[in-house]
Amino acid sequence: MTLHEGLLLARLVFGLVMAAHGAQKLFGWFGGYGIAGTGGFFESIGFRPGRLFAAAAGSGEFAGGLLVALGFLGPIGPALMLSVMIVAAVSVHWGHLFATNNGIEVPLLYGTAATALALIGPGAYSLDALLGIGSIWTPVAKWAVLAVAIAAALVNLGLRRAPQVSTVH
């Protein structure tokens, strides 16, 4: 297998699984809870209005995953994935490492893979290559897109409020 075939395989697996994860939030597909159910969970961890944050997270995962799978628009898809994974790691999975304890393992792996794909580029078997637009993604442009994604994640985390505690006895 060559470098480009390896990149295609990585992009397809990471991208399509991330898009499916987003579809769980957005549409309730693949055993997901849809916007309403996911929004309720988001509210419980301090993201209000929950439906808005659920739609943003689901859209980032869905669109980011599809862009990665297609190899389209260089680092933008990976950056969307990275941003959502930072928020997930800090707000839901912090405190443990492994997934068996709801730790940061999965968002850490997705975020790292997304960052690597953003920096390496989508390879020869991609829409960027087919359309001849891969060369616009210079190293500086790639890092700038990733910096925006990290900043967006930090803003999102900054908007998080303390979870509401029920006072009903």
pLDDT digits (tens, 9 = 90+) for 33-48: 999 999 999 999 999 9
What burial letters (b/e) apply to 30-64, b meaning 16+ CB within 10 Å? eebebbeebbeebbeebbbebbebbbbbbebbbbb
8-state DSSP, 89: I
The per-residue pLDDT for 162 is 75
Compute the radius of gyration of the chain from its Cα atoms: 17
Q: Which two tokens stand for residue 108?
A: 């850490």
Residue 165 has pLDDT above 70, yes or no: no
pTM score, two decimals? 0.92
CB 25 within 8 A of CB 41: no
| Block residue for tokens 């994604």 | 149
The residue ranges of every structural domain in the chain are 3-159
pLDDT digits (tens, 9 = 90+) for 49-80: 999 999 999 999 999 999 999 999 999 999 99
Residue 168 has pLDDT above 70, yes or no: no
The per-residue pLDDT for 164 is 63
Q: How far is CA 150 from the centre of its chain?
A: 11
pLDDT digits (tens, 9 = 90+) for 87-142: 999 999 998 989 888 899 999 999 999 999 999 999 999 999 999 999 999 999 99
